[in-house]
Amino acid sequence: MNYLSGFLPLSLANLTQISLLYVGNNLISGELDPRLFSNWNRLRFLELHNNNFTGMIPSEIGLLVNLVELALSSNHFHVLIPSSFGNLTELTMLFLHQNECSGTFPHSLLNCNLLVELLLFTNRLSGFVPQGLANLTSLRELHLSENNFSGPLPQVCQGAKVQLFTAAFNNFTGPIPKKLACTSLVRVRLHNNQLSGSLDRDFGVYPNLNYCKLSHNRLEGLLSRNLEQLKVAGNMIKGEIPEEFGKLNRLAVLDLSSNQLVGKIPKIGKLSSLEDLDLSENKLNGQIPGQLGECSKLHNLCLRKSYFNGSIPFQLGYLTLQGSLDLSQNLLTQQILPELAKFTMLEHLNVSHNMLSGSIPSLFGTMTGLTSIDFSYNDLEGPVPDSGFFHRASPAAFSNNKNLCGEVLGLKPCSNTSVEKETRKKNHNVPIIIVSASLSWLILSLALFILYALSRRAKRSRESKEAMVSEARNPLSVVNYDGKIVYEDIIEATESFDEKYCIGSGGSGRVYKAKLTLGPILAIKKLLCLDGEQMEKLRSFTNEIRALTEISHKNIVKFYGFCCHGPHKFLVYDYIERGSLADEACISDFGTAKILNPDSSNVTVLAGTLGYVAPELAYTVSAMEKCDVYSFGVVALEVMMGKHPAELVSVLNSCLDQKDVQLVLDPRIRTPADEETALEVASIVRHAVSCICVEPKSRPTMRWVSQALSEARTNV
């Protein structure tokens, strides 16, 4: 890749003997001059892809009758695809994807009998696709996705040996044509259309097919295929899951969710390659088969919203789940198995809306990878696991149970009886050995125990007092409203907030640099005086500030706590020198927008993070929770662009087409050649851009962004 820019010079037309012109992957712009193509009679390869060309595609390109490859993809060409392309009868590869071409499918392309690869995806083409494509017997790849095509799917396999066929995100209707059934197909993507009909009657047999995605259509019927990935979610597929699925030892992804499947899960324990299994939102019933524990590579298991009953099989503990385990909205009973605690890398655990009883196993506290949990709407009781993540979990995650307790907001504290009961449950299989001894030995042992207990109690008392003193002297203590010593240390370090220590200011106050006598250098954000109503709101954020102090990430400034003493109120952060994202600078104010009154003009401009701060903070409009969303969008764009988006932030919008996406990508990295990766990259950029809307209310929530990015990766 080079960085050539400017226009394509007309003097190139003098190269009458040229057979190959490759200027792809540059920054060349402007319209193509038709006179360029008047003397290139020997040209066989014309590669102009991934530039910034605009305007119409010159019909004079049709004069280059010896062309074998023509690549005009990833530019800004618009209007119609020239009918003169039908003259290029020697053409084997035509790449017009990721442009802004409109109009209908050029019927003249049916004259190009030697075409092997035809890529038209991500344009604005509409109308019917001609059925004559089936006569292009050399065709191996046909990509029509992300257009506005309508009508029936083309019959592409009458004489051809198409291997890759994509037509997703269009408006195709009717059944899948039986003449589509070419045994050569390897990958098929027809999702997000309006296709109907029966899979088992219309779809045919494809012995070489290893990827098939038909999700979000109107298909029904039964299905049995030899695949590596099968995604047919959101259709109307009925009947039972065929037993033959248990023999698909190459199957890695199986998504049959949101259909009308009934019966039991077949024996699929031999699916040694299976990584993702989603059977949720069907009418499946019976017990969850223990054979699932034999799927050794399974990372995600989703059986949500069906009619599974009985207990959770202990064999699931043999798995190495690392993504999600969702068994919610079923009829599961009995206890939650402690074997599931082996999933130390599991991120999402949901067993809500069942009839599970007993307690949440204490070993679940060792599942360090968890980012979300839900145990609500069961018959659970006893203490929740004693770990930081469970303490910080939302109260809704434990709601509507029998009698859960613990150090979680919304739950009552556990009594000694509850803890002892849990302890007895953990030890109920341990045999009790009764040892008889003489009365004298009993008295002696009792006396020694009392002496030992008294000495330990005294030692703990001393340690407790020392810890209290140490905590009072610790400038990094969490939420210390009465931290007089902390307050005095900060006052001394900043010389009563002298101007020479001020490193930044904003509508909510100023930021000071403080080097304490004992401790690291801190950034102290001194807030303006707050009235009584705002102080009441600050008190309600105590628990949230505690959670913020436990956030640990190398790119988020460490937040130590909030100090409120005397006339001053301030936030305590770790001090970070100025730097760029490439220098691993950190983002501050992460998650603290709610501490400020959303209806006031109190905002802050933080030293060291300019360029990542939401505009409403920079211009002192109002502080909102969407400030963090904005910062995420800027960082995500910087990763994709290879540099800070700078002034582009103010002009980008979430309605980017594929060409606009190409403009913002890092030019040092080659543009993805395959459609699936290109769509995924485009999705990341579009979602990042949606996060940097100037209007905060137009930005999505981080939960929505996370789900959207996950779905984008799953969809491709």
Average pLDDT, stretch 680-688?
A: 84
- The β-bridge partners of 166 are 143, 189
Q: Indicate whether 203 pLDDT > 70.
A: no
- Please, what CATH class does the domain formed by 238-412 belong to? alpha beta
Q: Indicate whether 196 pLDDT > 50.
A: yes
* Residues forming CATH 3.30.200.20 domain(s) in the chain: 486-574
Of 1-15, 101-115, 180-194, 280-294, the least confident: 180-194
- Into which CATH architecture does domain 486-574 fall? 2-Layer Sandwich (3.30)
113: left (phi over 0), alpha (psi -120 to 50) or beta: alpha
Q: How far is 647 from 420, CA to CA, in rounded Å? A: 62
385: left (phi over 0), alpha (psi -120 to 50) or beta: beta
**CA-atom Rg of the chain in angstroms:** 33
State the pLDDT confidence band at 470, using cuts at 50, 70 and 90: very low
Q: Indicate whether 432 pLDDT > 80.
A: no
Average pLDDT, stretch 508-513?
A: 79
Q: What percent of the chain has pLDDT over 70?
A: 70
Q: Is the distance from CB of 218 to CB of 194 less than 8 angstroms?
A: yes
CATH number among 3.80.10.10, 3.30.70.2190, 2.120.10.30, 3.40.1280.10, domain 1-124? 3.80.10.10
Residue in 595, 586, 593 with CA at minimum distance from that of residue 553: 586
**332-373 residue pLDDT tens:** 999 998 888 888 889 999 999 999 999 999 889 888 888 899
Close Cβ partners of 46 (under 8 Å, ≥ 6 residues apart): 21, 61, 64, 67, 69, 70, 71
- The β-bridge partners of 314 are none
Q: Which two tokens stand for residue 62?
A: 């049709």
pLDDT at residue number 431: 36
First to last CA, the chain: 27
State the pLDDT confidence band at 179, using cuts at 50, 70 and 90: low
pLDDT at residue number 656: 60
Q: Indicate whether 598 pLDDT > 70.
A: no
**133-171 residue pLDDT tens:** 888 889 999 999 999 999 998 887 766 688 889 999 999
Q: How far is 176 from 155, CA to CA, in rounded Å? A: 9
Q: How far is 358 from 404, CA to CA, in rounded Å? A: 10
Q: Indicate whether 513 pLDDT > 80.
A: yes
H/E segment holding residue 454: helix 439-473
State the pLDDT confidence band at 180, using cuts at 50, 70 and 90: low
Under DSSP, the state recorded for 606 is -
Instruction: Please give, one letter per residue, the 3-state secondary structure of 652-663.
Output: CCCCCCHHHHHH
pLDDT at residue number 467: 43
Going through 336-396 in order, the beta strands assigned E by DSSP cover: 348-350, 357-358, 372-374, 379-383
Q: Indicate whether 19 pLDDT > 70.
A: yes
* Residues forming CATH 3.80.10.10 domain(s) in the chain: 1-124, 238-412
pLDDT at residue number 304: 94
Q: How far is 327 from 116, CA to CA, in rounded Å? A: 46
- Strand pairing category for 403-405 and 379-383: parallel
**228-261 residue pLDDT tens:** 777 878 877 777 887 767 777 778 888 889 888 8
Is pLDDT larger for residue 4 or for residue 421?
4
pLDDT at residue number 441: 45
Q: Indicate whether 96 pLDDT > 90.
A: yes
pLDDT at residue number 145: 93
Of 268-272, 471-475, 525-529, the least confident: 471-475
Q: Which two tokens stand for residue 122?
A: 């991500």
State the pLDDT confidence band at 414, using cuts at 50, 70 and 90: confident
Q: What percent of the chain has pLDDT over 90?
A: 28
pLDDT at residue number 486: 66
Q: Which two tokens stand for residue 36?
A: 């360029």
- Strand pairing category for 211-213 and 229-231: parallel
Q: b/e map of 530-542 (b: 16 or more CB within 10 Å)?
A: beeebeeebeebe
Q: Which two tokens stand for residue 637?
A: 């764009």
Is 526 marked within a binding site? yes
CATH topology of domain 615-713: Transferase(Phosphotransferase); domain 1 (1.10.510)
Q: Is the distance from CB of 204 to CB of 178 less than 8 angstroms?
A: yes
Burial of 451 (0-12, 13-18, 19+ CB in 10 A): exposed
Q: Which two tokens stand for residue 404?
A: 């859960």
Under DSSP, the state recorded for 313 is P
DSSP letters spanning 631-697: HHHHHHHHHHHSS--GGGGGT--TT--HHHHHHHS-TTSPPP-SHHHHHHHHHHHHHHHHTT-SSGG
Q: Is the distance from CB of 261 to CB of 239 less than 8 angstroms?
A: yes
Counting other chains too, the contacts that 57-62 makes at CB distance below 8 Å and 24 or more residues apart are: 57/32, 57/81, 57/82, 57/101, 58/32, 58/33, 58/34, 58/82, 59/34, 59/83, 59/84, 60/34, 60/35, 60/36, 60/84, 61/37, 61/85, 61/88, 62/86, 62/87, 62/88
Instruction: Please give, one letter per residue, the 3-state secondary structure of 74-141.
Output: CCEEEECCCHHHHHCCCCCEEECCCCEECCECCHHHHHCCCCCEEECCCCCCEECCCHHHHHCCCCCE
Q: How far is 138 from 655, CA to CA, in rounded Å? A: 37
pLDDT mean across residues, the chain: 77
Q: Which two tokens stand for residue 225?
A: 């295929």
Q: Which two tokens stand for residue 622?
A: 């109002």
* Residues forming CATH 1.10.510.10 domain(s) in the chain: 615-713
State the pLDDT confidence band at 549, using cuts at 50, 70 and 90: low
